[in-house]
């Protein structure tokens, strides 16, 4: 694989995936129809690469080379020459299905189509194409360039060749690979989501304050962030969406969204991206 396309590249995850692929030597094409969001996403990638230069993690030449490998397109057709396209659009099944149908129409017959969805059924997306055997999940963690893990997700229709290609691609990005089944939450979120929701329930019933809950986990378990910080980092709307899907699928009470989470999303307190969640952000 040489050329990678990313749909939804102006979102936090999409931009991180573009940056990671470019840093790993791939030509990357980011698709977005919004020129203003495209400009902002490219500026964010440049800023992150600049911080890596400041911290002497990469050289100024590495930064320039990575940026030279990134291009943007506002037409799906601009992804026609890609060997792999990773969809990282918002978690909306109908939107994602139409993206997959469009990609199937423009991409080469041998191209692999992947989704970064954390909760939606991948076989549903695969069946929106005429190549379900060449569709799989590549689930990255935020921030994609820094987090070591990649969950490679196989549906019942994914071919062995596609799975192996997905694993080899992840390894070429320097990721630690685990293979998961196409079930909501895969491995990480099946464990993470109940933990985050429990922290919110604990706050809601007044058992502890938000800073104490986070400090307990950081200092007691040596996690880099506490659960409420992670929730703000993921985005409370995304967390609510993932929890709802997992609850719908399993009907297990551990995935039922706490009222406080719903109220915060209704109030527009979405975490870091809106400037307010369990914490305030400038
Ligand atoms: N490229 C390079 N650097 C980036 C970056 C990017 N795309 N995005 C963020 N960073 C850097 C920032 O520049 C910042 O560094 P500076 O302050 O030097 O500018 C740094 O990340 C964040 O600041 P920290 O002081 O927290 O940095 P750190 O080195 O101590 O740790 C961390 C960063 C890796 C994010 C660490 O805090 C961590 O591991 N946190 C946990 C994150 C986590 O749990 N992610 C998973 C969420 S779940 C998910 O994504 C999947 C899902 O389906 C819900």
CA distances to 3, 111, 186, 223 from 161, in Å: 18, 12, 21, 36
All domains of the chain in start order, with CATH:
3-181 (3.40.50.720), 189-274 (1.10.1040.10)
**What pLDDT is attached to residue 184?**
86
- The dihedrals phi and psi of 180, each to the nearest 5 degrees, come to -125, 160
Is residue 143 pLDDT above 90, yes or no?
yes
User: Residue 233's closest CA among 223, 245, 244?
Assistant: 223
Predicted local distance difference test score (pLDDT) of residue 45? 98
Nearest atom within ligand 1 for CA of residue 119: 53
Ligand 1 centre distance from Cα of residue 142 (Å): 7
Q: How far apart are CA 69 and CA 100, in angstroms?
A: 24
Q: Whose CA is nearest to atom 3 of ligand 1?
A: 48
Annotated catalytic residue 210 = no
Strand order from edge to edge, sheet including 3-7 = 70-73, 27-31, 3-7, 84-87, 112-115, 135-139, 149-154, 176-181
Contact 8, 88 (CB under 8 A): yes
**Would you say the CB of residue 261 lies under 6 angstroms from ligand 1?**
no
For the packed helices 12-23 and 60-68, what is the interaxial angle rounded to 10 degrees?
110
Residue 129 · residue 160 · CB < 8 Å: no
pLDDT score for 282:
85
Predicted confidence (pLDDT) at residue 105 exceeds the cutoff of 90? yes
Mind listing the pLDDT tens digit for each residue in 23-75?
999 999 999 999 999 999 999 999 999 999 999 999 999 999 999 999 999 99
Q: Please name the helix (run of DSSP H) or strand (run of DSSP E) that holds residue 84, with its range, or none.
A: strand 84-87
- Minimum CA distance residue for ligand 1 atom 2: 48
| pLDDT tens figures, 218-248 | 999 999 999 999 999 999 999 999 999 999 9
pLDDT on residue 55: 97
Percent helix, strand, coil in the chain (nearest 5)? 50, 15, 35
Whether the pTM exceeds 0.85: the reply is yes
Per-residue pLDDT of 155-212, as tens digits, reads 999 999 999 999 999 999 999 999 999 998 999 999 999 999 999 999 999 999 999 9
């Amino acid at each position: 694989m040489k050329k990678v396309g990313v749909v939804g590249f102006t979102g936090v995850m999409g931009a991180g995936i573009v940056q990671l692929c470019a840093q790993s030597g791939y030509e990357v094409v980011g698709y977005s129809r919004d020129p203003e969001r495209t400009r902002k996403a490219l500026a964010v990638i440049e800023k992150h690469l600049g911080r890596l230069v400041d911290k002497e993690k990469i050289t100024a030449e590495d930064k320039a080379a990575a940026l030279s490998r990134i291009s943007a397109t506002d037409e799906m057709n601009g992804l026609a020459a890609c060997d792999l396209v990773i969809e990282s659009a918002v978690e909306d099944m109908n939107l994602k299905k139409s993206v997959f149908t469009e990609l199937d129409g423009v991409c080469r017959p041998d191209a692999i189509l992947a989704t970064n969805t954390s909760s939606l059924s991948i076989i549903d997306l695969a069946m929106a194409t005429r190549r379900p055997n060449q569709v799989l999940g590549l689930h990255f963690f935020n921030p994609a360039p820094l987090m070591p893990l990649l969950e490679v997700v196989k549906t019942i229709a994914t071919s062995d060749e596609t799975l192996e290609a997905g694993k080899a691609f992840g390894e070429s990005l320097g990721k630690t690979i685990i293979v998961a089944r196409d079930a909501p939450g895969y491995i990480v979120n099946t464990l993470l989501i109940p933990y985050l929701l429990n922290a919110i329930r604990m706050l809601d019933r007044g058992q502890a304050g938000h800073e104490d809950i986070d400090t307990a986990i950081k200092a007691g378990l040596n996690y880099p962030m506490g659960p409420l910080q992670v929730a703000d980092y993921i985005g409370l709307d995304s967390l609510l969406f993932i929890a709802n899907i997992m609850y719908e699928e399993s009907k297990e009470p551990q995935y039922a969204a706490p009222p406080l989470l719903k109220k915060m999303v209704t109030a527009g307190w979405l975490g870091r991206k809106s400037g307010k969640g369990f914490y305030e952000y400038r």
